[in-house]
Structure 1
């Protein structure tokens, strides 16, 4: 059976989409998850997908908090994600400091939008236990919430949100880059749903597309055109984003430091409580290699 691969339809997914276009043997099918990593984790749990390409921090915090629905099997993006802090077009908030004690919009509990709100609070010196969250499901619900006053702000990837800023629907009031590489790959641990040999073949093939996408030649032209056609972003935004992103040479390799550093910061932000942990419990050692 083909692997069911969950993903978020954003510019980061371009190499995966190129792979899917060329997958003549239909070794996998794509399942779009527009609500982000929280939805990806939910679908892994509910047997709706077998593999998820998702944000580093919610994946790691999910396992640390006891989820048995997946293990880490690989890496996808090796650079940080730049999270914009976004408020309503005519709201009273003008910088991040104004948000203290106000309700923050998130897509789902356990999502990257929630985790990064904790990181933002930590940077600002706020009491993380006092953060207030309003679940709004997806970016459309979040945009509506900052304009109707249900929430003060929300956090989402900068370039994904920029078209809404350009259209005057919302405003940027700051940004918070992740202190870790932004995307990992997770899979359900069951051999019935995600056999190790099938996962290894998928990751090996995906690595070829990621490496090809990451070359200077691809960045200079083909990548820009592909993203422009798929997502409709302005060329200048695509070129600006390409300068900030890089991909791993081997998607089946996970740097041990990514797990340890992420856990340490998430513990400071009160997202997880892990007084002691074994890094190997976070990964599927039959598929992934710790680097």
Structure 2
């Protein structure tokens, strides 16, 4: 069984890339999704991938809004994502990659933090970071939100400028898998997560952070060493990728409801329905 694993080629994916390089039995294949979580969810739904490592909030929102195509099977990054973007953006047009993407969700979070009404936010879809950069430079959007360190090289080159940042109010990355047992059997998923955990722990170790992680990210992504060192000080990976926090699910759903992304049913959400219990363990 070869799992098709969708991912975004960013520094966060480093442990996954290291796992892929050492996967001699070829138990999975990587499918790059440069447009981000919206594209990952679309491909997961359309049977183009079996597993998605994607942003927490759109994954949870999709299930809350009725998607039965996938369930959560694990956690990938425990720390918040720092989105670069603020201030005089009220009533302006914000660039996003896709509807339902993290870039759109975080625009709502920004609006809530700034105490702006969220029912009249205006968006323009620009697919990926290149389209987003072009849109702020041609004036069709006033700003966009993308992860801080991924955006920084474009600031360094003068293509964009930072005007603020909005950290996610939840751990940033989770893992979802198809609910079709033929595409994503529980045994194959559990084996994948177990080995991914090994690589995540190694990457997250103090010894690796000193040199090996820095060199790997510099080589794969071309970031300056000072940026890599700074990012490593901010990120934390889970001890076990097959565990999911009930509090994270509840807190994220609370913010998504405030932003108008989901509607809580009578009696509240049943958190058990968000997770594949044959693969992941929920913890308080």
Structure 1 length normalisation: TM-score?
0.96
2:89 aligned with 1:99: yes
- Per the alignment, residue 214 of structure 1 pairs with 204
Secondary structure at the aligned position of 1:144 is classed as: helix
2:274 aligned with 1:282: yes
Secondary structure at the aligned position of 2:145 is classed as: strand
TM alignment of 1:218-233, pairs within 5 A: 218-233=208-223
Secondary structure at the aligned position of 2:184 is classed as: coil
Residue 251 of structure 1: which of 226, 232, 241 is its match?
241
Cα displacement string for residues 183-229 of structure 1 (whole angstroms, at most 9, x for unaligned residues): 00000011110000000000000000000001110000000000000
TM alignment of 1:1-291, pairs within 5 A: 1-85=1-85, 96-275=86-265, 276-291=268-283
Cα displacement string for residues 14-65 of structure 1 (whole angstroms, at most 9, x for unaligned residues): 0000000000000000000000000000000111000000000000011111
Inter-partner Cα distance in structure 2 for 1:274 and 1:221: 46
Aligned-CA RMSD value: 0.5
Structure 1 position 269, deviation (Å): 1.1
Cα displacement string for residues 221-280 of structure 1 (whole angstroms, at most 9, x for unaligned residues): 000000000000000000000000000010000011010000001111111111311001
Secondary structure at the aligned position of 2:9 is classed as: coil
Structure 1 position 152, deviation (Å): 0.5
Structure 1 position 97, deviation (Å): 2.2
> Which structure 1 segments of 5+ residues have no match?
86-95
Secondary structure at the aligned position of 2:119 is classed as: helix
Inter-partner Cα distance in structure 2 for 1:98 and 1:247: 35
Number of residue equivalences:
281
- Per the alignment, residue 88 of structure 1 pairs with none
Inter-partner Cα distance in structure 1 for 2:199 and 2:264: 36
Stretches of 4+ moved more than 3 A in 1? none
Structure 1 position 68, deviation (Å): 1.4
Inter-partner Cα distance in structure 2 for 1:62 and 1:37: 11
